[in-house]
Structure 1
């Protein structure tokens, strides 16, 4: 009985402290279950920041699907890309939230999701959506956002 207790205690200690690969696994698991938006603060009011986000989204060839400046959010989706196999397809969706920043300006938070459909999907037209926390798409989106805000208003 003491051996089992000691082994159980050792397993708990290893699970709690973890190693570097365990830490990466925990982070990946946490992002999958409860993804976090990537924030970017701009020196603009919410409505101009929203309009700049729409311009950035359009420059990345995303199609606006829903949202509004007053709601402080927007959703967009990329074009459908065919994948490997007869029923494989891929899209990327973008979710953006806008809120007043603590030190003035607007916090624009973005999250990209990869949507995959393949022969293992349960039904036609339904896919698996997975957050993309480490995608270079964030840098591209925020660069387009900053460029749109730098343009003089027409």
Structure 2
């Protein structure tokens, strides 16, 4: 299995749940997926991280060449499909920013979207759009379980 990781997963991990100085095993496991090409993200990830200097953000920037998939024709075509689904949901394309690019990468490369967004009634969150396109989406804990990660105390 290969994954497309949403920006909110990095933000939640780095700022809330798995800071590198406290839970280095999380980042080591994530690094393994990135190094083997099984964890990817579109260029939009770097834009959404805003080039701040937090340690965990620096960790992401240092893996940019392996993690980030440059925009290509298949992603451009997929973005068009994704934006059409947003429009069908009544969402103005001018109001959405990065999410379509994550879904489009997953659609173009047959990846599972990893996001911490939850479906909600009336909203066009990533899981809802993914579902409409037949793109699987799961949460970070689902990835950790599927991959058999164990974050143990020393």
- Report the TM-score when normalising by structure 2: 0.28
Q: From the CA coordinates, give the structure whose radius of gyration is larger.
A: 1
By relative contact order (CA 8 Å, sep 6+), the higher-ranking structure is 2
- Report the TM-score when normalising by structure 1: 0.28
Bigger fraction of residues in strand: 1
